[in-house]
Chains A and B, each alone.
Chain A
Amino acid sequence: MRKILIPILTVALVVTGYFAYNQYRMNEDLMRRAESQYQRSFHELVFNVDTINSQLAQTLISSSPEQVMLSLTNLWRESFAASSNLGGIPIAMVELDKTDKLINDIAEYSYYILKSNNLQKQKLAEKEWDKLQEFYERSKVVRNELQSVEAAVLDRDLSFVEVETVVMRRGRDLADNTIVDGFRIIEDKVKAFPDLQFDEGVQKIEPEPRPIAGREISEEEAVAIAKEFMNNHDGPITKAEISFSAEGKIPIFGVRTFKEEQDIPTYIEVTKKGGHVIQMYMQRAIKEANLDFQAAEESAQEFLKEHNLTGMELVDIDTDTNTAVFTFVPTEDQIRLYSDMVKTHVALDNGQIISFDQTSYLAYHHERTIPAPTLTEEKATSSMNTNFDVQQVSLALVPGEFKENQEVLCYEVRGKMKEEKFILFINADTGEDFRIVRLTKPREFEITVR
């Protein structure tokens, strides 16, 4: 008996041992690969921040406009890379808001100076110089701290995979917690500086929503509004109730409605002020498409009209096999108002609107007084690149990038170059290209769904 048993057990042990060893090796191998990715991101981050710091110093001491321009370009590029590398290391559990913001402010400010100043002719303004000086001081603090962490990582072979597995996943501290502590110190030190104040003009715009007209409504009224909306849209509603309430930029009540013999609700968001249906989301199975875009657009226009959204022009279509998202903008004196978009998601089986979002419209639409364009259409488009085959021109009011140019009157020129479709927005006052938007949709491919 024993004669058979011992060899069998021995073989089993060897096989198990070999298997375990193999697993262990594979695991080690994977960990090293992850570690090297993290190490690369980290060291690059330190390099980026160091470069940012030195480029800021160079900008501050340089007196030649060309050199300043070059430094600013480098600053913009390095701060972009820094953000991306910071996103590549496993420190999601450390709050790095202010550090992220600093890096980003540097990127945006250098971009702003590059874009707005004609540096060929003039030097940095006093206040720009001050701002760069501030950035220099702050980035120096970040750099110093990062370099201390880097020294420890190199000297003591600290592992980011360990940070990930122990600190991030299990929420415990490591025996040598230098990496995590280092990032916490950076954030604390950056936090200690007073917030940098930028001129109005420099801030990227996120325009404040205009106050919505109307009085405050109660929950019951919101339910009644949603019920009526859905009764008209999708047939009799058997039940409607408040589902949630949100206090964001536009306070709303979330209502859900049920149809008979249907347990998947439709969600409707009703503004607390004025009681407007601002968004709607239906969930239903969508059968095979049998409508073309024109029929679908008519159906969407019909829906918009029912809800008092008239004079809307279709500006974009995004589609899959059986639904399409149509984006509309209102017009004023035939000028397209791009800030005031409305979106409708149309089911292509019967043309029903399955979701709807008029947040931008409610937040920004108002009667504007738009001055007539300085340039005529012919004048604005006359100097256009000859590679561009113009198909359609209209006037549009386009939201700008910075606060100082909130909305810019442009000629919207749709056309193509070979198979690439674009919109060129040409400033109707200066004739410069204000923005170029690529319309060619990214390539679509088949994907398996479950």
Chain B
Amino acid sequence: MLENKRIKALAFIMILATFIVLVAMDFVSVIGNRTLVYGSTGQDVKTLQSKLKGLGFHKGKADGVYGWETLRSVKWFQDQFGLKNDGVVGASTWAALNKAKPGPVTAQKGGNKTTSNNDVAVLAKMISGEARGEPYIGQVAVGAVIMNRVKDSKFPNTVYGVCFQPGAFDAVRDGQYFSPPSETSLKAARSAISGYDPTYGALYYWNPVTATSKWIWSRRIMLRLGKHVFGI
């Protein structure tokens, strides 16, 4: 009998706790500073989405589900406003969202659209995914390695062939490739396609800190640029 009572009490406490948490979350979501991450749902996600939409960063629906599309929009927003683009909507991102006014971002930058052909676009997305945050010369270098591969007989003969070779580039695997390229990376891509090559013929580059393949180290290293080393 006592056992039974204890279980009942426990269950009651748990339900109460859940209830309190839910209510609290709802309450927080109203004032809008709960930290949102990929997978979050609720009224505040809706608020986030409509704010992003108003600012021109979100094209999808404001459905209250923090999904893939929302993640992309948040990262893009964070990137534009100099925040860490981790997709986590914390205090700083909320503050930036509340401060941002629709329009001026795009107007300031002279329109966040530019023109490109398909080769340049693919290359730019790749550079953006692989070498964002690297100095410009490092971005051209990554593009040049891809172009050197296109020219080299050991690799596929097109930009896409090289970029989408299974396992060749991390950016394709972890999905960083699948978001808009930065303006700098587009310039870097154009330079690389017209033949600029700061690496003088490198076919490989890797990050010495994170490289997993052992054989990559058998390559002759030609230079170190930013966080990458380049070799043949």
- How far apart are the CA atoms of A420 and B218 in the complex, in Å? 46
Contact A288 B110 (CB under 8 A): yes
Binds B, one of A16-24, A329-337, A440-448: A440-448
Assuming the contacts A84-B156, A88-B166, A447-B113, asked whether A269 and B198 have C-beta atoms less than 8 A apart, the reply is yes
Nearest-neighbour CB distance to chain A for B114, whole angstroms, equals 5
Contact A164 B167 (CB under 8 A): yes
Mask, B174-214, CB within 8 Å of A = 1, is 00000111111011001101111111111000000000110
Beta-carbon contacts under 8 Å, A252-288 to B = 252, 254, 256, 264-265, 267, 269, 279, 281-283, 286-288
- How far apart are the CA atoms of A83 and B136 in the complex, in Å? 32
Nearest-neighbour CB distance to chain A for B3, whole angstroms, equals 13
Contact B190 A450 (CB under 8 A): no
Nearest-neighbour CB distance to chain A for B97, whole angstroms, equals 16
**B40 in the interface (beta carbon within 8 A):** no
- How far apart are the CA atoms of A287 and B135 in the complex, in Å? 20
Determine chain A's interface SS by DSSP, over half rule: mixed
- How far apart are the CA atoms of A104 and B137 in the complex, in Å? 31
Q: CB within 8 A of A445: which of B116, B191, B197, B199? A: B116
Q: CB within 8 A of A265: which of B135, B213, B215? A: B135
**A429 in the interface (beta carbon within 8 A):** no
Q: Which residue of B lies closest to A318 (CB)?
A: B194
Residue from the set B137, B173, B191, B197 with the largest chain A CB neighbour count within 10 Å: B137
Assuming the contacts A1-B11, A171-B212, asked whether A320 and B165 have C-beta atoms less than 8 A apart, the reply is no
- Chain B residues with Cβ below 8 Å from A92 are 165-168
Binds A, one of B20-28, B29-37, B60-68, B221-229: B221-229
Q: CB within 8 A of A449: which of B137, B156, B186, B195? A: B186
Q: CB within 8 A of A448: which of B79, B118, B135, B180? A: B180
Assuming the contacts A248-B222, A446-B113, asked whether A345 and B195 have C-beta atoms less than 8 A apart, the reply is no
Chain B interface residue bracket vs A: 35 or more
Contact B166 A89 (CB under 8 A): yes
Mask, A89-107, CB within 8 Å of B = 1, is 1111101010011001001
Contact A359 B114 (CB under 8 A): no
Interface size on A, residues (CB 8 A): 73
Contact B136 A450 (CB under 8 A): no
Assuming the contacts A283-B135, A287-B110, asked whether A343 and B224 have C-beta atoms less than 8 A apart, the reply is no
**B155 in the interface (beta carbon within 8 A):** yes
Nearest-neighbour CB distance to chain B for A297, whole angstroms, equals 15
Contact A320 B114 (CB under 8 A): yes
Nearest-neighbour CB distance to chain B for A166, whole angstroms, equals 12
- Chain B residues with Cβ below 8 Å from A1 are 8, 11-12
Nearest-neighbour CB distance to chain A for B2, whole angstroms, equals 16
**B98 in the interface (beta carbon within 8 A):** no
Contact B11 A447 (CB under 8 A): no
Contact A87 B180 (CB under 8 A): no
Contact B136 A283 (CB under 8 A): yes
Q: Which residue of B lies closest to A447 (CB)?
A: B116
Q: Which residue of A lies closest to B79 (CB)?
A: A450
Q: Which residue of A lies closest to B121 (CB)?
A: A447
Beta-carbon contacts under 8 Å, A155-169 to B = 164, 168-169
Nearest-neighbour CB distance to chain B for A76, whole angstroms, equals 13
Contact B114 A321 (CB under 8 A): yes
Q: Which residue of A lies closest to B14 (CB)?
A: A5
Beta-carbon contacts under 8 Å, A426-450 to B = 441-450
- Chain B residues with Cβ below 8 Å from A393 are none
Contact A87 B116 (CB under 8 A): no
- Chain B residues with Cβ below 8 Å from A104 are 153-154
Beta-carbon contacts under 8 Å, B86-117 to A = 110, 112-117
Chain B contact residues, CB within 8 Å of chain A: 8, 11-12, 15, 76, 79-80, 110, 112-121, 124, 135-137, 140, 153-157, 161, 165-168, 173, 179-184, 186-187, 190-191, 193-202, 212-213, 215, 218, 222-225, 232
**Those 5 A-B pairs whose CB atoms lie nearest each other, nearest first:** A248-B200, A92-B167, A246-B223, A283-B136, A90-B166
